[in-house]
Every structure is written in structure tokens, then in C-alpha cells.
Amino acid sequence: MFYEVAPYTEPTNHDNNNEEYVVKSILGTEFEGYVNGFPLIKTSIEIEVRTSFHSMEIAVHFIEQYALQNNFAVLKHKSERFPDSTYRKRVFKCDLGGRYTEKLSKPTLGKKKSKGTKKQGCMWQMNINRRINSPLVTVTSFNNEHNHEIFIDIVKFFTSYKNFTEEIMEQIEFFVMHNQCDSGIIRNLLQPKYPDRVFLTQDLGNAIQKIKQEKGLSNLGDAAFLLMRLLELQANDPAWFVKSLIDDTSIVFSECLQNNDEKQESYEWLLRCYLEACEIPPLTFVTDTDPAMVAAISTVLPKTHHMQYLYYLYQNLPKNLCSCLGSFLYQEFLKDFKAIQRSHYKSVFEHRSADIVEKYEAGEKYIITMLLNRKHTWVKCFTSRHFTVRTQSTQHVESENALIQKAVQLSFSLS
């Protein structure tokens, strides 16, 4: 039993505004002594108007766990505080509540951004209040209706549930401190112990880097770490001989060398430096889906064929389509998308992609803007015409970037 419901002895409570709360039950008795994070609640939670909690922190935990059990996520919409800065009132809404309002920093004439949004105007809402000089928090209003379909697996990808518990972070730290920093291996070790938890590669990578920074560990990648280790052995032992092989056509860029804002102007500067150094524009350029880099390539290298790194392409699909399509429909889309991506002939691609927008109408904006409009960068029948020596990864360049970042500081002159 993870929590208990205890009947309250007094039938009514009054605050300074003469508001009357008839308390039905009090939740969270066993959590009163907790100082850090609360544990997960696996027993069924029932919340209604006039349900009370022992503190504001316990109330927030129960509401978030209630949403998790019912396969949706909540966001903290607004709050009011007492003069001592403690919460008096908090309002929670469904993560899909509200409507997206586009705000442009600069007016664009004749242009309209095709930005998708998960907001659907859901009316689910819960208000909780706390009386002055009392720790008890009471549910004062509760609208428990959604205007959208609830899918079981969607909750796995909500941002609010991505944070790892303290127990999981301790285990990740144990692996990192013992020189095991590969997110795939760590996921395989953690998944059997937490079968109900989704461990995305990006989330594990962020946790690993956070631990490295806190513990003062090296931020180098595996390849760069190996090279630094070999150079260290060479310096300490004359028997070691290490030589880096870089041919005349190899060139390494680091956006952190001079700029770290990832803007189109910064990328254009880097590409112009490349042209000045090599004089010959590359035939093919492989990057992730960064729109600033894509725009910079089309501006500075108009004759260069741009290709997307497939790893990032597939990694971005669940982030942008799973919430709007739902788990079942997304799996169907993923199967169709893989078939489209592997089309070896243009006619096959056109046949397979003919009705994909109508079939998955909920994700229309992303499918058209980010996928079909950029088909030449990821579909096999278009990319196979360009010689890449089967290159589909940027890991080698990223490792060398790490070496440059370690040796070069922002204050260094490029002249």
C-alpha cells in the first residue's frame, strides 16, 4: 500500500474569506515525513471535489500520479501565493489544453509558418486551495472531461514524465563512474528492472552528460576519448607510437569555435570558411535536421546535395507524430514510412507515398513540411544517386569537434 485515505474528523473548514470546504477524505498521510522526491503510487487514486491532502507538495504529487494512471499529463497552469511566498492556490490543466497562438518576432509579408501544435483546447482542469495557517490542501473544483482520445502509450512520451527518479539517476551515475557511458548499454541494463519505463536515447544522453559535468568527468566522445588515451600512453611510454591520419580532403568544423548560437548566419560563416580553404564545394553534405544548417547549405552551397542523417530523422518521428497520431496509428505510420524511405525507384516512392497524408491526417503539417518537402534528403531513390561511401553518420566529425573544443577557447584569435 503506497498511500492511505483517512477520514477527517471535522466536517467543515473555514478560511479568512469565509469559504467553506466540506472535506471528504485526506490523502498522503504516509508521505508527511518525506523530504526529497516522493515514490510512485501504484494503487488506484480517486480524486473528487473536497478531497484533501496533507500538504501542497503531496497534493501536486498525487495529481501528477493520478494523471499518469489515467494516461495523460498535466501542466501547472497558474498559481497564487500568500505573503510568505507559500502557495495558496494552484490550477492544473491537461497537457493538451489551450490553443497555440503564433508570435512572430519579426513581421513576415506573404509568409506563414507551418508549425504544428499538440494543443487541442482540452477543458480538463483541477483547482486546489489551502487555508491560511493550515497545511491542508483541498480540491475546490474539478472538470474531469477531455475533448480528445486517450491512448495508453502516449503518456510514455510526455515531457513531464521524462524526468528520471532519484533511484534511476543513482544507477546511471554508478555506470558512468565505472566508465560505462554508452546510452544503449545503460538502457539495456535498466529496462529489465523498470519494464514500465521508456528510456529514450536522448534522455539517457542528457542524464549522462549532466552527471559528467557534476563529477568533473571528460565530455569527450568514445572516439575522442580513445585518441586522448593513446596520446597519453605515448607521452608516458616511449614504446608507444601514435599517429593521426588526416588526408588532404579532410576538414573539421566546430560551431563552438567562434559561435554557439546555431543560427543560419553562423553556419553560413563556417561554410564560407570551408570554401575559402578548399576552393571546391563538396558534392554531398550530410547533417541532422537543423533548419538553420539546411538553409545555410542552400545559400552558400547551392549545387551541393544535402542529405539527412537517418538516425536523427527516425529519432524525431515519435517526438513530433506519436502524440497527435496515437500509439497504434503511429506504429502503422512507422511501418509505411520505412517502406517509403527504402524505395529504390522513384515510381515506387510515388506509389507508396501517394495517400500517406490522407491516411495520417492528424500529422499532416509535419509530414508535408519536414518529410515530403525534403524527400531528396532521405529517400533511397534520391540519395543513392550520390556517392557517399555509405556514410550515414557524423560521429567521426563530432569526435574531432570535441577535441577542438577541448584545445581551443572562445578568446583565441583566428588570424
Write out the three cell numbers for 387: 556517392
List, for the chain, all residue ranges whose pLDDT scores fall below the cut of 70. Answer: 1-24, 35-37, 102-116, 153-162, 218-225, 243-262, 387-415
pLDDT for the residue 43: 87
Global confidence as pTM: 0.45
- Whose cell is 472538470? That residue is 143
Amino acid, single-letter form, for residue 187:
R
pLDDT for the residue 254: 38
What one-character-per-residue DSSP string does 240-307 give? --------TT-----TTTT--S--HHHHHHHHHHHHHHHSS--SEEEE-S-HHHHHHHHHH-TTSEEE
pLDDT for the residue 33: 74
| Residue pLDDT, tens place only, 13-52 | 444 444 455 556 788 888 877 766 677 788 889 999 999 9
pLDDT for the residue 163: 75
Cα separation, 257 vs 323, whole angstroms: 37
Instruction: Report the mean per-residue pLDDT for the chain.
Output: 77
Cα separation, 35 vs 55, whole angstroms: 12
pLDDT for the residue 141: 93
Element (H, E) at 12: strand 12-14
Provide the pairing of β-strand 74-81 with 12-14: unpaired
Taking 3-state DSSP, the helix, strand and coil percentages for the chain, each rounded to the nearest 5, stand at: 40, 10, 45
